[in-house]
A and B are shown apart, each in its own frame.
Chain A
């Protein structure tokens, strides 16, 4: 049971838009801690996709965007491409646990 809750899977056709939610609580996202998002393809290390709720590292396409509101955050992917098929994880910090916390991960399937 992850502290941050993500849907186990989402899917979309090429060109479509998908959104992945990340629901936390008042001791993590709701307390103002930033949310980061990672993309992980099989047998590879995760890749930082969004940091500080809404910021993209250099080299990440602007098809990827992050948002945060209250105790939740979201990752939106527009113009889906086959190469976007991967697992996506959100991450924040929890003050009551004194611990980084991750979502359980969401598997994106491009139909």
Chain B
């Protein structure tokens, strides 16, 4: 059974850096797009970006200047860094596994990240 377990700091100050990591177990790490999606409180879903096991990444255009994703293939982990955070970045952040044209079929449990002074 594929499982995604994520962790990272839940409270940040404005201008700080968000850092989250997601560990994948129970399945292959190759052949998928490892994805981050966020959801502001009470609002809808927003794709942040994706990375494959080779480290090839693609980011949401409006976040591209602040986002970096990385992958640690031997550990089956991938990470998200978002710099210069503001209150607008307050959201629950989810990691997810995506196969081409098959949607996000496995999700992490979500991490609520609050940006507040």
Q: Which residues of chain A come closer than 8 Å to B101, judged between CB atoms? A: 34, 51-52
CA distance A48 to B107 in the complex (A): 9
B55 contacts the other chain (CB 8 A):
no
Q: How many residues of A contact B (CB 8 A)?
A: 24
CA distance A52 to B102 in the complex (A): 6
Q: Which residues of chain A come closer than 8 Å to B103, judged between CB atoms? A: 36, 38, 48, 50-52, 91
Residues of chain B in range 98-117 having any CB-CB distance to chain A below 8 Å: 101-105, 107-110
Binary contact track A8-36/B, C-beta < 8 Å → 1, others 0 = 00000000000000000000000000101
> Which residue of chain B has the shortest Cβ distance to A98 in the bound complex?
B61
Q: Which residues of chain A come closer than 8 Å to B81, judged between CB atoms? A: none
Which residues of A approach B to under 8 Å, CB–CB?
2, 34, 36, 38, 44-48, 50-52, 57, 89, 91, 97-105
Q: A45-B107, A51-B103 are in contact. Are A99 and B61 (CB under 8 A)?
A: yes
Q: Which of B13-21, B24-32, B40-48, B69-77 contacts A (4 or more CB under 8 A)?
A: B40-48
B94 contacts the other chain (CB 8 A):
yes
CA distance A98 to B46 in the complex (A): 13
CA distance A47 to B109 in the complex (A): 11
User: How far, in Å, is A69 (CB) from chain B's closest CB?
Assistant: 18
Q: Which residues of chain A come closer than 8 Å to B46, judged between CB atoms? A: 102
